[in-house]
């Protein structure tokens, strides 16, 4: 008995020393190898008398367990120490740059179209589209703008044929016509898209974007028009209050017609939309002219409603502080990077329009 206790004491002392894996394994062999001291002790069991044997076996087992545990923990300790010492040599300069990042960008016009669609989606408008190339009828005549109408002069039209029959649409209003011809009232649509006029300076470019809105039902009046635009402008500029002014104006396809101004002020040279004392014209609208409804086979005695047209690029310029319209279409990498949006930044009602 005292022998095995002695073995235990000796080896526990040994194992408390600082050791490497190899010497621990050596100890392991000395104790539990074929001729190991513990192994040999087990061999003596058979020669012991019965009454001693049980006690000895129990003691021996507990000593064996104790030593094994000690060895295992020692081995683990060594392993951890070795890893740790290795880690000291594996130190990287984590301030070195990561691998190449290529962040893409969404063009402001696309972002603004998504914002607009999201807002109008909330109040039940769906999106319709039409062709960029239109014929004279859909772009003008059906919209109560006959050939001899001076209003045509306000649209500097690009033509694709000498008879001036085929043209690039000067507004997105032809989508109104197409939508109404192809369906039955009620209509509640917006139509965003490219539009074209042969005009080019700081505030005009030969191509720009417009969103047309149309709501036709039995009892839609100018109050609904005001409410809709008020809701849209407030949502788009993400402000609680907005100053809005409806001014009488004239468009051949609406009557009564209005131009809408919103209040703004200049703060540090930037336009702040909201309550200032200056007015900014942002859109044209009105009640769809009975002649237009007749042209698309909608009975104007039964149905009525409003339409509006808003410049998308201009809205984007105002919201995001962009000064030059032409820059939208010049593909300057620096500009796209600066004003573009992250592709994951999808405007939506519940996450908010802009970050």
Partner 1 sequence: MKFTMSWLKEHLETKHKDTQIIDKLTDVGLEVESFENISSDLDNFKVAKIINAEQHPNADRLKVCDVDIGQQNIVKVVCGAPNAKKDLLTVYAGPGSVIPKNNMKLTISKIRGVTSYGMLCSESELKLSDESEGITELKPSKYSDKIGNNFFKNNTEKVVDLSITPNRPDCLGVRGIARDLAAAGAGKLKNISHKIVKKDGSQNIKVSIIKDKNQGCTIFGSCLIKGVTNKESPKWLKEKIESLGQKPISAIVDITNFVMLDLNRPLHAYDADKIDKEIIVRNSKKGETFEALDNKEYKLDDGMCVISDQSGVLGLGGVIGGTRSGTELKTKNILLESAYFIPRSIRKTSKLLNIDTDAKFRFERGIDPQSIEIGLIKASQLISEICGGKISKFDIQKIKQYKNSEIKFNISLFEKITGFKVKENEIIKILNDLGFKISKKKSELNLKVPFWRPDISQQIDIVEEIVRIKGYDNIETIEPKKNRIKDTLNKQQKLFHFLQRSVASKGYFETVTWSFTDSKINNLFKENLNEIKIINPISSDLDVLRNSIFSNLTFYLKKNLDRGFKDISLFEIGPIFKNKQPGQQLTVIGAIKSGKISRLNWNEKDRSVDIFDVKKDLIQTLMEAGYDKQSFFIRDKSPTYYHPGKSGSVYLDKDDIDPVAYFGELHPNIVKKLDIRTEGVVGFEIYLDYLKDTKIKLKDQKPNFEYSDYQKSERDFAFIVDKNFKAQDLIDIISSIDKNLIRSIKIFDIYEGENIPDGKKSIALNVTIQSSEKTLEDSDLEKINKLIVTTVETKSGAKIRS
- Judged by CB under 8 A, the chain residues 130 through 149 that form the site for partner 1 are 131-135, 138, 148-149
Q: Which residues within the stretch 27-56 sit at the binding site for partner 1 (CB under 8 A)? A: none
Could you tell me which stretch among 21-29, 73-81, 83-91, 193-201 binds partner 1 (CB under 8 A)? 193-201
Specify the residue, 41 or 254, whose C-beta has the smaller distance to partner 1: 254
Q: Which residues within the stretch 329-348 sit at the binding site for partner 1 (CB under 8 A)? A: 329-334, 336-337, 340, 343-344, 346
Closest to 228 (Cα-Cα) out of 163, 159, 283? 283
Specify the residue, 49 or 223, whose C-beta has the smaller distance to partner 1: 223
Closest distance of CB 189 from partner 1, Å: 9
Q: How far apart are the C-alpha atoms of 168 and 140, rounded to whole Å? A: 12
Q: Which residues within the stretch 55-74 sit at the binding site for partner 1 (CB under 8 A)? A: none
Using CB under 8 A, which of 59, 230, 276, 354 touches partner 1?
230
Residue 224 contacts partner 1 per CB under 8 A: yes
Using CB under 8 A, which of 25, 39, 121, 141 touches partner 1?
121
Closest distance of CB 235 from partner 1, Å: 10
Handedness of CA 181, 183, 184, 185 (dihedral sign): negative
Using CB under 8 A, which of 123, 275, 302, 351 touches partner 1?
123
Site string for partner 1, 163-192 (x = CB under 8 A): ---x-x-------------------x----
Look up residue 46 and give its two tokens: 């058979």
Could you tell me which stretch among 16-24, 25-33, 81-89, 155-163 binds partner 1 (CB under 8 A)? 155-163
Q: Cα angle at 297 between 312 and 259, to 5 degrees?
A: 30
- Find the helix or strand (DSSP H, E) in which 27 lies: helix 21-32
Using CB under 8 A, which of 99, 241, 267, 355 touches partner 1?
99
Residue 303 contacts partner 1 per CB under 8 A: no
- Find the helix or strand (DSSP H, E) in which 8 lies: helix 2-16
Q: Are 258 and 249 in contact (CB under 8 A)?
A: yes
| Binding residues for partner 1, total number by CB under 8 A | 88
Using CB under 8 A, which of 114, 285, 298, 311 touches partner 1?
114
Using CB under 8 A, which of 36, 185, 256, 274 touches partner 1?
256
Residue 202 contacts partner 1 per CB under 8 A: no
What is the four-CA torsion angle of 52, 53, 58, 60, rounded to 10 degrees? 100
Using CB under 8 A, which of 44, 198, 203, 348 touches partner 1?
198
- Find the helix or strand (DSSP H, E) in which 122 lies: helix 108-122
Q: Are 256 and 222 in contact (CB under 8 A)?
A: yes
Q: How far apart are the C-alpha atoms of 148 and 163, rounded to whole Å? A: 15
The DSSP bridge partners found for residue 191 are: 212
Closest distance of CB 50 from partner 1, Å: 51
Q: How far apart are the C-alpha atoms of 28 and 30, rounded to whole Å? A: 5
Could you tell me which stretch among 4-12, 65-73, 198-206, 267-275 binds partner 1 (CB under 8 A)? 198-206
Residue 322 contacts partner 1 per CB under 8 A: no
Q: What is the DSSP string of 200-255?
A: -BTTB-SEEEEEEEEEEESS--HHHHHHHHHHHHHHHHT-S---EEEEEEEETTEE
Using CB under 8 A, which of 117, 170, 173, 210 touches partner 1?
117
Residue 206 contacts partner 1 per CB under 8 A: yes
Q: How far apart are the C-alpha atoms of 95 and 134, rounded to whole Å? A: 57
Place of tokens 């592709």: 343
133: preceding bond cis by omega (within 30 degrees): no
Q: Which residues within the stretch 258-277 sit at the binding site for partner 1 (CB under 8 A)? A: 258-259
Using CB under 8 A, which of 15, 32, 78, 107 touches partner 1?
107
């Amino acid at each position: 008995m005292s022998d095995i206790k002695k073995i235990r004491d000796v080896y526990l002392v040994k194992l408390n020393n600082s050791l490497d894996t190899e010497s621990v394994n050596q100890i392991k062999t000395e104790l539990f190898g074929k001729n190991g001291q513990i192994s040999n002790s087990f061999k003596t069991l058979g020669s012991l008398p019965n009454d001693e044997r049980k006690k000895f076996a129990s003691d021996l087992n507990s000593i064996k367990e104790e030593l094994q545990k000690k060895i295992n923990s020692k081995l683990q300790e060594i392993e951890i120490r070795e890893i740790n010492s290795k880690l000291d040599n594996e130190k990287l300069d984590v301030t070195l740059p990561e691998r190449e990042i290529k962040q893409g960008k969404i063009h402001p016009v696309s972002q603004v179209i998504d914002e607009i669609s999201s807002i109008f989606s909330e109040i039940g408008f769906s999106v319709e589209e039409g062709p960029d190339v239109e014929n004279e009828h859909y772009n003008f005549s059906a919209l109560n703008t006959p050939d001899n109408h001076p209003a045509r002069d306000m649209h500097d039209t690009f033509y694709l044929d000498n008879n001036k029959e085929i043209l690039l649409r000067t507004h997105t209003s032809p989508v109104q016509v197409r939508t109404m011809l192809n369906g039955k009232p009620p209509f509640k649509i917006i139509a965003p898209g490219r539009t074209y006029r042969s005009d080019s300076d700081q505030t005009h470019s030969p191509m720009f974007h417009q969103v047309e809105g149309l709501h036709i039902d039995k009892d839609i009046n100018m109050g609904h028009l005001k409410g809709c635009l008020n809701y849209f402008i407030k949502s788009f500029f993400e402000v609680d209050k907005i100053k809005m002014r409806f001014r009488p104006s004239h468009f051949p396809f609406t009557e009564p017609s209005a131009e809408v101004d919103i209040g703004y002020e200049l703060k540090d040279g930037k336009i702040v939309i909201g309550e200032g004392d200056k007015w900014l014209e942002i859109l044209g609208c009105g009640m769809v002219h009975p002649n237009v409804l007749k042209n698309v086979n909608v009975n104007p005695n039964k149905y009525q409603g409003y339409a509006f047209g808003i410049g998308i690029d201009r809205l984007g310029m105002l919201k995001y502080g962009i000064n030059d319209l032409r820059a939208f279409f010049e593909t300057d990498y620096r500009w796209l990077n600066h004003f573009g949006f992250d592709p994951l930044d999808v405007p939506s009602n519940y996450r908010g329009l802009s970050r």
